[in-house]
Structure 1
């Protein structure tokens, strides 16, 4: 059990899921919150910690979602709570652009040190992942004096107008919300499982295709930034074939293009390394972070080469709440926890357990087309048996069965056919094993 929480680390079902109190709250939600704000599992949480979520009906659910890769250090981690509480009592806001404070600077220093590369860096803080991506585009355009932005098939970068344009998947993210920002271009990504000529050809062919589109259709000299998730999140936890990312980085460098790594879902020990770029030694020009940065408080960042980050004029970057002092304190507590509890090592252990169990399930259930991922960022892609046709129906049915048994799982994928697993990195081993047992039973039932 995490030292940060007194919650019993056990699955406990005392009502149907969702229970009567959750159903009552859901009824209130429908009368107060717009329909566009959806809910994956309408279980209303009262407490959370370690590897469990406790709801208002007294049920205790195993958490394989971490609030979409946010509570990497667990919910209400001790250092996060202590630092945030101390800051809350001191002051809650001044606006860093008006009267600054040390916490913002301290977080920037930590990110400059932890992110890939030993070069001189600067960090600017924001509120959300989408806001970080938008500002990375602003910074890249200011530096290069160019306008075009290149993104990839299956990519996800946010829900603002610009980041919807950068995002590949239409439903539910883009449908009905256009027109979108101009000068956005999409190129192929190295998706090994679905590459038509086979996974062994994927990296070289995908890189060649992407580079040809950029050079022939856009003009490399017009491109300000290339933005990619080192492991694509909402697109289905797609890990680009080895060699693809280095080829894109090399092309960007040769053509004066800012290479932006969107590590909003992959960052902060999630993949068993501080950042997913570390796996192939990628050193991005700019890196965007959010989600796991502050243990659940809203905070985001753009970190990058000093000469690029300094290209924007004074006053050109910022925002009223960017780098909120309480969120900064929480981030320092989260980073402290990641270091002291070796959460990179724990993520790797989680990955070994999950990949072993899931590959064994793949041998038993022909609906599982592929098992993939690194560290505690693992997914299974579901297909119609006998081929690779996406199977979103089975995906939804298995997720529903898991939810009914008290296991929180998430779905993803451009085709809606991926189950993704993002347990807190502090989840106890027995809960991880029990969650996988529930998942296996769900596969057997479907």
Structure 2
């Protein structure tokens, strides 16, 4: 199969003339409600490179938002998809099932956190997975309430918008939202009012107090949490906080749902971020990196919970599509064989020291955080005031120089980095050089 040469190439300005032409067509055909971070139109991609229709080759620090961790055209995934397309593209697992769906569930049951017996169900997107995890939790416990956190992002369906903390652009004028959702503070070390050293204990105290007084433990079906928050700004909870929440959930027969949609599948240097925290969630939601770029998602959890739902209560026409399942099995094989968890840790060993050095040099980099190949910097002004304007300027400078970077954060002031786990070392270091130049240009 054709591959993309692993080097940055700038033939035109970014975006170039053909991309601008396509963008004009887009404006006439696609809803303006669908945003675009960088309007370069992709012709081919692979490894750590995205090539556009003008021949520019950009270094990829985004992975399609943590989706193409194994690369955009991983050989095992391509071969598996081609074989499956030639066999059949769809039957609907709920009508006439097939082995691929079962095999993906077997894999998930085997290596998601927790030594207990598990079951899985497959869906199309992370939001669907989270929504179905809430359905399972409510059905199994007979309780209505769901507790979520500040800075959370869980999706764009009506229920998951209710779970999501950020209004613009995700919730603005889309309500009313689903009820029985309650929000509590996140243990956000950089922004904790009394200092990072107090964050875990005080955040946990606030969490338990608010649930007790405003909801009542006996009414809570589940606590839904990202082990590292994604769109909220790659917030890593203060050490010990999630373990305390997990212990409290067990004490009150409340289910802990780990949203591993962005953190899962080797992204943080473990197969799942929950492993680093030493927690065993009752239910885990996955998507993004699960299938090498094809749409697939899952809920995996304790067998007695997943089997509590009546037959027909879970499902969907396209959930666990056979092509996506073939891609997932090939993705999992690739990650195991090529040690992508180790690759994520190696990426961190290159990027984190560079980011820390930049923070030492530029006071407006208030925080460096993340884990593995899921890293971020938060940009601030005086008294930690968020600086979204500088964040946008740095991202734009990086884009012009041929580096794909993403922004994030409740306040729009976080640059997040999600390089493919297969990115070559020289591209990784060149990307960091470009980032440093972009940061310096705004200093």
TM range (shorter): over 0.9
Taking the aligned partners of 1:181 and 1:156, their CA distance within structure 2 comes to 15
Report whether the alignment pairs 1:414 with 2:405.
no
Note the C-alpha offset of 1:311.
1.1
My pick for the range that moved more, 394-403 or 356-365, is 356-365
* Mapped pair 1:436 → 2:422: no
| Partner-residue secondary structure (3-state), 1:387 | helix
2:383 match: secondary structure: coil
Q: Deviations over 1:42-101 (max 9, x none)?
A: 000000000000000000000000000000101110111111110000000000000000
Distance 2:352 2:6 in 1: 23
- 1:234 matched to 2:231? The reply is yes
CA RMSD of aligned residues (A): 0.7
2:158 maps to 1:137: no
Residue 5 (structure 1) shift = 6.0
Q: What residue number does 2:298 align with?
A: 301
- CA deviation profile, 1:362-389 (whole Å, cap 9, x unmatched): 11111100111100000000001x4311
TM-score (norm 1): 0.98
Cα distance per residue 1:15-39 (max 9 Å; x no partner): 0000010001000000000110010
Q: Residue deviations 1:249-275, cap 9 Å, x none?
A: 111111111100000000000000000
Contact 1:5–1:50 at 8 Å: present in 2 too? Answer: no
Written as runs of structure 1 = structure 2, the 5 A alignment for 1:273-292 is 273-292=270-289
1:401 aligns to 2:397 (yes or no): yes
Query: Structure 2 stretches of 5 or more lacking a match?
Result: none
**What is the distance in 2 between the residues matched to 1:374 and 1:297?**
25
Cα deviation 1:139-185 (Å, max 9, x = unaligned): 00000001000000000000010000000000000001000000000
**In 2, are the aligned partners of 1:121 and 1:305 still within 8 Å (CA)?**
yes
Report the equivalent of 1:152: 149
Secondary structure of the equivalent of 2:83?
helix
Q: Which among 5, 10, 22 is matched to residue 8 of structure 1? A: 5
CA distance in 1, matches of 2:65, 2:28: 26
Give the distance between the partners of 1:256 and 1:196, measured in 2 at CA: 31
Q: Could you give the per-residue CA deviations for residues 268-301 of structure 1, whole angstroms, max 9, x where no partner exists?
A: 0000000000002110000000000000000000
Structure-2 separation of matches of 1:240 and 1:372: 10
Moved over 6 A (4+): none
Q: Distance in 2 between matches of 1:375 and 1:81?
A: 26
Structure 1 partner of 2:21 = 24
Distance 1:74 1:220 in 2: 44
Match of 1:362 among 359, 364, 370: 359
- Give runs of aligned pairs for residues 379-394 of structure 1, distance below 5 A: 379-384=376-381, 386-394=382-390
Say whether residues 1:194 and 2:209 are aligned partners: no
1:36 aligns with 2:33: yes
- For 2:239 and 2:96, how far apart are their aligned partners in 1? 46
CA contact (8 A) 1:346 1:426 kept: yes
Tell me if the contact between 1:123 and 1:303 (Cα under 8 Å) persists in the aligned partners: yes
What residue is the counterpart of 2:308 in the other structure? 311
Q: Which runs of 5+ in 1 are unaligned?
A: none
Task: Quote the Cα distance in structure 2 between the aligned partners of 1:360 and 1:38.
Answer: 33
Residues of 2 paired with 1:200 and 1:370: CA distance?
15
Return closer, same or farther for 1:5/1:255 CA change in 2, 3 Å cut-off: farther
Equivalent of residue 57 in structure 1, options 48, 54, 58: 54
- Cα deviation for residue 118 of structure 1 reads 1.2
Q: Number of residue pairs matched?
A: 442
1:426 aligns with 2:422: yes
What is the Cα deviation at residue 220 of structure 1?
0.5
